[in-house]
Amino acid sequence: MSITLRPYQDAMLGDVRDAFRSGFKTPLLTAPTGSGKTVLFSFVASKAAGKGNKVLILVHRQELIRQTSATLTAFDVPHGIIASGVPETDEAVQVASVQTLVRRLDRMTWTPTLIVVDEAHHATRTTGHGRVLAHYPEARVLGVTATPERLDGQGLGALAGGFFDALVMGPTVAELVQLGHLSKPVVYAPPSAVDLSGIRTVAGDFNKGDLAAAMNRPAITGDAVQHYARHCNSAPAIGFCCSVAHAESVAEAFKAAGYQAASIDGTLDPDTRAQRIADLGSGALQVLTSCEIISEGTDIPIVAAAILLRPTQSLALYLQQVGRCLRPFPGKDRAVILDHVGNCHRHGLPDDDREWSLDSKPRRQRKKEDDETPTRQCEHCYEVHRPAPECPSCGFIYPVKSRRIEQVDGDLQEIAPDPARLAAKREQAKAATLDDLRKIAAARGYSPRWAEHVYRARQAKQTAWRGAR
Ligand SMILES: [Zn+2]
């Protein structure tokens, strides 16, 4: 069997080739979860091997080895696997577990000429990925990731001390939604933010132990069950939790509410784990919860909802979790994200366009960018969406807020506009010419300069408005 690339994948491939042809040796390709990165780099590997290259595909999880191997097989690409317990072979394409390869580097005789790095945001000088890349300085490198950004703000680019010398941009989430290759994400969040005071930040993200204590509470879990009932129509959902115990208690709460639910974690035997994932895929399970296992690389297109119960400062983790429910599937007209932890306020909506860079960014700057993401929350159904006069989900029309606000006892309160002031404004609006404005100024005892000032401000506003069109 062979695989046909989609048009946008062809374009990505062309851009990668252009980067190599322009003399770059280590481009980094960025494209969202669900854009078919595995298909793309498997295609690259097969073409490169056909031209006599030795291609090393570097992945860091068991599941990704299986997925990549299956894709290469679909392309009829003979390949070996470098992983513990698997005998080594000498095919021109090798799929390697980073952990295993790092241990074997000193005795490897097979030398790659092209290295494909999956989840390439892990590739810095100090990681296993980095040690492999540093071991083969002559090889060309193609990095692939959905989020070319690290929690510590360290850039992945050569100028920032990293490995990559060019950034190749694939399609955005919004574009893939438009093309029908991803489902439209719809985000609902509770009206009040979860209390994260006292949660420590360790290595750039919230401390998981602190989080588990803060999040594993009946009120929050009950809220999750209620929102699932209201918005998800019993569609298969994944719940992202802070600890194994948290995942278990959330699954219990869903069961108590009459849903088919289960949790998975690393201590389960692989068969039970695989069975529960399969049950979610077949619809036998409605809700599967976990604290770690299902973030990266689990591909179950029928999953139509993500229940976010783990606050994170990692944009990569947030997008990976959300990405688990964005795959298109027959009959699935949208992907529902129930954000109980404020991640969409922290990182923006899943289909926001993002500006990536290979440079290092100070933390404060990243935070500022996050803060600038404009969102609005419906006070009726709690959907979080881009600013609009009405809620795209329930059609609630936002009341137009009056502009006069007075401070009373330290609280900001809305006060009805003063009728006399309104009448004066109306009279002023009716005055079409500078002469009319001068008459008003005279009648009210204003300075004649007031009329000129209002007139000029009006003209400037009109010009600006025309310019904007
Ligand atoms: Zn609404």
Rounded to an integer, the average pLDDT of 107-116 is: 95
Q: DSSP 3-state assignment of 309?
A: coil
State the distance from the centre of ligand 1 to the C-alpha of 102, rounded, in angstroms: 51
- Segment (H or E) for 44: helix 37-50
Amino acid at 386: R
Residue type, 390: E
Ligand 1 geometric centre to CA of 188 (Å) = 9
CA of residue 235 to ligand 1 center, whole Å: 20
Say how far apart CA 28 and CA 343 lie, in whole Å. Answer: 26
Using the mean position of ligand 1's atoms as its centre, give its distance from the Cα of residue 77 in Å: 50
Compute the average pLDDT of residues 166-188.
94
Q: How far is the CA of 334 from the centre of ligand 1 (A)?
A: 15
Say whether pLDDT at 167 is over 80.
yes
Segment 430-457, tens digit of pLDDT: 888 888 888 888 887 777 777 877 777 7
Distance 25 CA to ligand 1 centre (A): 49
Tell me what the mean pLDDT of segment 163-178 comes to: 94
pLDDT for residue 413 is more than 60: no
Q: How far apart are CA 189 and CA 230, in angstroms?
A: 12
Task: List the one residue out of 389, 315, 390 whose CA is nearest residue 355.
Answer: 315
Which pLDDT value is given to residue 345? 87
Q: Using 50, 70 and 90 to split pLDDT, how confident is the model at 420? A: low
| Helix, strand, coil percent content, the chain, rounded in steps of 5 | 40, 15, 45
Q: Flag whether pLDDT at 465 surpasses 50.
A: no
CB-proximal residues (5 Å) to ion ligand 1: 378, 380-381, 383, 391, 393-394, 396
CA distance 395 to 374: 19
Torsion sign (Cα): 401, 386, 388, 328:
negative
- Gyration radius (Cα) of the chain, Å: 27
- Taking only the tens place, the pLDDT of each residue in 266-293 is 888 888 988 998 999 999 999 999 987 6
- 409 vs 356 pLDDT, higher one: 356
Q: By the 8 A CB rule, do 77 and 46 touch?
A: yes
What amino acid is encoded at 326 in this protein?
A: L
Q: Is the pLDDT higher at 93 or at 152?
A: 93
Q: What is the pTM of this model?
A: 0.77
Would you state the pLDDT for residue 353?
86
Residue 467: pLDDT over 90: no
Residue 427 has a pLDDT of 79
Averaged pLDDT, 200-207: 89
Q: Please give the distance, rounded to the nearest whole angstrom, from the Cα atom of residue 375 to the centre of ligand 1.
A: 13
Mean per-residue pLDDT for 425-431?
Answer: 77
Report how far ligand 1's centroid is from the alpha carbon of 376 (Å).
10
Q: Which amino acid is at 296?
A: E
- Percent of the chain past pLDDT 90, that is, above it, reads 54
Rounded distance from Cα 215 to ligand 1 centre (Å): 26
The Å distance, Cα 94 to ligand 1 centre, comes to 50
Structure confidence at residue 416 (pLDDT): 43
Confidence of residue 402 (pLDDT cuts 50, 70, 90): low
pLDDT over 70 at 101, yes or no: yes
pLDDT score recorded for residue 239: 96
Q: What would the pLDDT profile of 31-81 be if each residue is shown by its tens digit?
A: 998 898 999 999 999 999 999 999 999 998 887 898 899 999 999 999 999
Higher pLDDT, 240 or 392: 240
Residues 89 and 63: beta-carbon distance below 8 Å = no
Please tell me the distance from the alpha carbon of residue 23 to that of residue 441, in angstroms, as a whole number: 69
Determine the distance separating the centroid of ligand 1 and the alpha carbon of 335, expressed in angstroms. Answer: 16
Give the per-residue pLDDT at 93: 97
Band of residue 372 on the pLDDT scale cut at 50, 70, 90? low
pLDDT tens digits for range 214-245: 999 998 999 899 999 999 999 999 999 999 99
CA atoms within 13 A on the CB side of 172: 11
Instruction: Compute the distance from residue 186 Cα to the ligand 1 centre, in Å.
Output: 11
The type of residue at 31 is A
Largest CA distance in the chain: 96
Interval 294-322: pLDDT, tens: 645 567 899 999 999 999 999 988 998 99
CA of 398 to the centre of ligand 1 (A): 9
> What pLDDT, on the 0 to 100 scale, is given for residue 364?
42
Q: Which domains does the chain have, with CATH numbers?
A: 7-171 (3.40.50.300), 176-385 (3.40.50.300), 401-451 (no CATH)
User: How far is ligand 1, taken at its centre, from the CA of residue 279, in Å?
Assistant: 32
Between vectors from CA 350 to CA 348 and to CA 352, what angle results, nearest 5°?
A: 65
Distance of CA 397 from the midpoint of ligand 1 (Å): 8
pLDDT at 150: 82
106 Cα to the center of ligand 1, angstroms:
59
**Residue 83 or residue 382, greater confidence:** 83
* 393 Cα: distance to centroid of ligand 1 (angstroms): 5
**Residue 296: its pLDDT value, please?**
52
